[in-house]
Structure 1
Amino acid sequence: MDIMPGGVTSPKGFRASGAHIGIKAVKAEGVAPPKDLAVLVSDAPAVVAAAFTTNRVKAAPVLWSQRVVARQAPVRAVVVNSGNANACTGDRGLEDAIRMGEATAEALGVEAEEVLVASTGVIGVPLPMDVVLRGIPQVCSALAATPEAGEACAEAIRTTDTFTKQAAVRMEIGGQVVTIGGMAKGSGMIHPNMATMLAFLTTDAAISREMLNRALKASVIDSYNMISVDGDTSTNDTVAVLANGLAGNPVIAEDGPDFAAFCAALHALNTHLAKLIVRDGEGATKLMEVVVRGAADVDAARRLARSVTTSNLVKAALFGADANWGRVLAAMGYSGAPFDPAGVHIRFTSPGGSVTLMEDGEPLPFDEDQALQVLRESEVRVEIDLADGDAQAIAWGCDLTYDYVRINGEYRT
């Protein structure tokens, strides 16, 4: 499935906007103020499916949005602020999240229960609601269906991200062109079972709520749940997809070729956005893809791949371009997944070449200069072949750099 330029305004019937309203401080005179409020609207009632953080500590907007989704009714809009997570803020935090939804609903002429709310940023600080409530009508008044509006929306949900993350896919279903667009944010506090990440997807596909939910849950398992930057799972993670049916395709209400095509497109987009999040990991210089093949079952393959991507020692070796295969094997060993060490093959590959480090559980002599050439590239794949079965999985991570410590040491200041 080919990924194309675009974003949340690519499908029919979606408008977006993003602006600086004053939640984030202006960094310097003469520098454009950072956008910090985003609004996304469907012109028609949209079916919604969503997944949220598995952290027991859930931010106020997550609690509100879970209620909205649990209604199993159409939604019309999403409002997102950045710079403040509205997490660990008690009763006031939930009241503020509800007020964000109500203010957005009032500006759009819809019901508050039709508005998803999300926040991202510093934990434990109340939202400046005077700023937020003044800013929401301002941002709603600028809603547009243009690529530029989608870009502004994607920019407004960023925190430590260094670039906006958005894309789109297109397919034909029932003789009609169907589009899925998406935007995401995430750079730190990224770990399996989602991350400090937000992802919002829009589609003009006509699809039932049940099938949309199935498609999203199946995709999340092998996309956002397979990325890690630093082993921290956030309080605010949210991924939601809105489907307004304006493409005019026959409603996807059961298994079949149409549902399969939609699932493939949705998963391609989610995987692309998930990899962008890892590529933009705080301070990261390299994207690591870990491929596990020949595992006993899919669960074992996923656990092994994720254990390697989350190992600080593997991540540090990647930063230093050190072909330390022992750290890979050790991370596999403490993953809790069953495998036979005597059947392990390990290779590092990249645009710089390939180097095999282990075969049938035995280390191989290798050329250090060749390994250095492989590991100096900005994208490195760790290929692990086992002799335990036919299952496979892919996980994504990044290197651990000095800048990660600097960024997070200064995060609140």
Structure 2
Amino acid sequence: MTTAPATAPPGVPAVDADPFSPDVLEDPLPLHTRLREAGPVAYLTRYDVYAFARYEQVHAALTNWQGFESGAGVGLSNFRHEKPWRPPSLLLEADPPRHDAPRRVLSTILGARALRRLREQWAAAADDLVEQVLTGADTELDVVPALAEAFPLRVFPDAVGLPPEGRENLLPYGDHAFNAFGPSNDLVAKGAPRVAELSAWVNARCAREELAPDGFGARIWEAADRGEITYEQAPLVVRSLLTAGVDTTVHGLGAVLHAFATHPQQWDRLRADPRLARVAFDEAVRWESPVQTFFRTATTDVTVADGVVVPEGRKILMFLAAANRDPRRWTDPDAFDLARDPSGHVGFGMGIHQCVGQHVARLEAEVLLTALSRRVTRIEPAGPARRHHNNTLRAWASLPLRLWA
């Protein structure tokens, strides 16, 4: 983090704004509009980094892993010069060839066969949870702990093979991991006292003997037995699941429930055709973008739009959320609309680093929304909602809703 504003390179619009400030984290949309209107490339003088906020440039950077690497870190910290706070992720913070084998193993484990096996089980769990929370014809509850957190914390750790004890550690661990992609601000400092404790707990859960024999984690270790990955890589691949597999889904569910509460006609549309549940989740991920930003690092001098050159070794900040509401790509981008085809959004990334667990998240959302659509006729706000601030994630701390059965 710079101590004084940097000077923008010639020909690049300078933007003196802090995307990690409380005001922006509370409402990032004005900054996103400002960055898109500044041009295809802007320069954040506070952090001495290039910024991409239009869909075309964000998509191009995400898919150009040769020019914009992840291996130097997907946060502000540059691993070429700074030691990361934990061993880098073999998926998120690695590039080919180091990235290839772990990605291939996890893609197979989280593939269509696994999801077919889990669908019936997760649908029953969703029905059970909805039955638990609906106490009458008019149920008022905070859906963040009651639904958005409760469902992923129940089904996903089960699928990985974790024991029930200690699962509450996953959310604060993931929260700190995503905060750490930003600058060393108050949000990072808030999580620092528990980093060692939470990291130790997560790392211990990645050991083979801690994992149930029929879960995703055990299958990762079996891939090591077959020589597809090394035994040193296996626990790091399990850790990748535990780091990114809960928080992002929690916040995606919060986003779609908020969307339906504020767009009642879209809830009516889903109830009339529950097959739209997956479209609804993807549209919410586009509209709200639970993962707001990621960094990359130029591997060489990379020429981008308008002849601007990002020099080798320099960081770029990709505003995924801004790209997902870019009017150059989307018609009426600020609307949450189930008639839209949201495919192509960059809320799960794009290219070789696209979220490997996105289909798992979609299945969790699909079964929960389907269960709700069978029982709930209307969703309404039931009190002031409160945001949870994170340097990377867009999240709700509290979302009181009234569910009419």
TM bin (shorter chain): under 0.3
Higher strand share: 1
Question: Which of 1 and 2 has higher RCO (CA within 8 Å, sep 6+)?
Answer: 2
- Report the TM-score, using the length of structure 2 for normalisation: 0.24
* TM-score scaled by length of structure 1: 0.23
Q: Which has the higher helix share?
A: 2
